[in-house]
Amino acid sequence: MMSLSNIRIFYTAVCIVLGLIIVTPDFMSVVTFSANERFSELWILGQNHKADDYPFNVQQAQTYTVYWSVVNHMGSSEYYAVRMKVGNWTDAPPDDRNSVPSLLDAVVEDRFFIADNDTREKEVSFSIDKVSFIDDVSTLQSFIVNNERVQVGKACLWNQTASGFYYQLLFELWIYDTAAQNFQFHDRFVNIWLNVTRTT
């Protein structure tokens, strides 16, 4: 006959084993999900390849440099596009929670393949080619991006609170959907703010 202490030990051991059997499927599904999570990264770095030194107060005919980078963790080689857009401080940003890109037109688009767990980086050198100022309105007519002139045609109202003409340089990540046979917004975007100043 088993003693009371042996019965307690046996009962405790049975409870632990049953608990592990019940919890293991849930635990394994969490581990499997984390191991198989598919995503991409997009970020922007300043001229020194750091998350600072971004251009801010910009003037016509001065050249500025940033770098965008994309990392593929999708589990296979993917076909991406980075779309560069120019907006002002009143334009709505993309809605990444509902997979809705910015309504702005792309002024530059780069398309490229990236192998799984690989990175693609690109230097973006830009300067303001033509800009005009009339009263409280600035109009950014064109940029030079990596030695190519791109038309922008974007007006901006003077921001009285922040005292400037604030434009945003927006980079969106798109991915090719083989079922739809076109690029889809991939819910990733980054931007920097530019205060376009008058030259004296």
Sign of CA dihedral 9, 14, 17, 20: negative
Domain ranges (residues) in the chain: 1-37, 39-196
Q: Which of 137, 74, 67, 152 is nearest to 107 (CA)?
A: 152
Nearest alpha carbon to residue 185 among 194, 198, 176: 176
pLDDT (average), residues 142-166:
96
pLDDT score of 31: 37
| Phi, psi at 74, each rounded to 5° | -90, -5
Q: At residue 73, does pLDDT exceed 50?
A: yes
Percent above pLDDT 90 for the chain = 76
Sole residue written with tokens 């083989």: 178
Query: C-alpha angle 8/13/17, rounded to 5°?
Result: 150
- The mean pLDDT of 64-86, rounded to a whole number, is 97
pLDDT value at 166 more than 90? yes
**Per-residue confidence (pLDDT) for residue 15, from 0 to 100:** 47
Q: What is the pLDDT of residue 177?
A: 95
Percent of the chain with pLDDT over 70: 81
Structure tokens that stand for 3 in this block = 């003693």
Tell me: pLDDT of 137 over 80: yes
Distance CA 160, CA 78 (A): 44
For residue 111, the model assigns a pLDDT of 98
- d(CA 154, CA 90) in angstroms, rounded, equals 12
Select from 79, 62, 93 the least CA-distant residue to 175.
79
> What is the average pLDDT across 54-74?
96
pLDDT tier, 24 (very low <50, low <70, confident <90, very high otherwise): very low
pLDDT in tens, 99-124: 999 999 999 999 999 999 999 999 99
Query: 39-196 has which CATH code?
Result: 2.60.40.3880
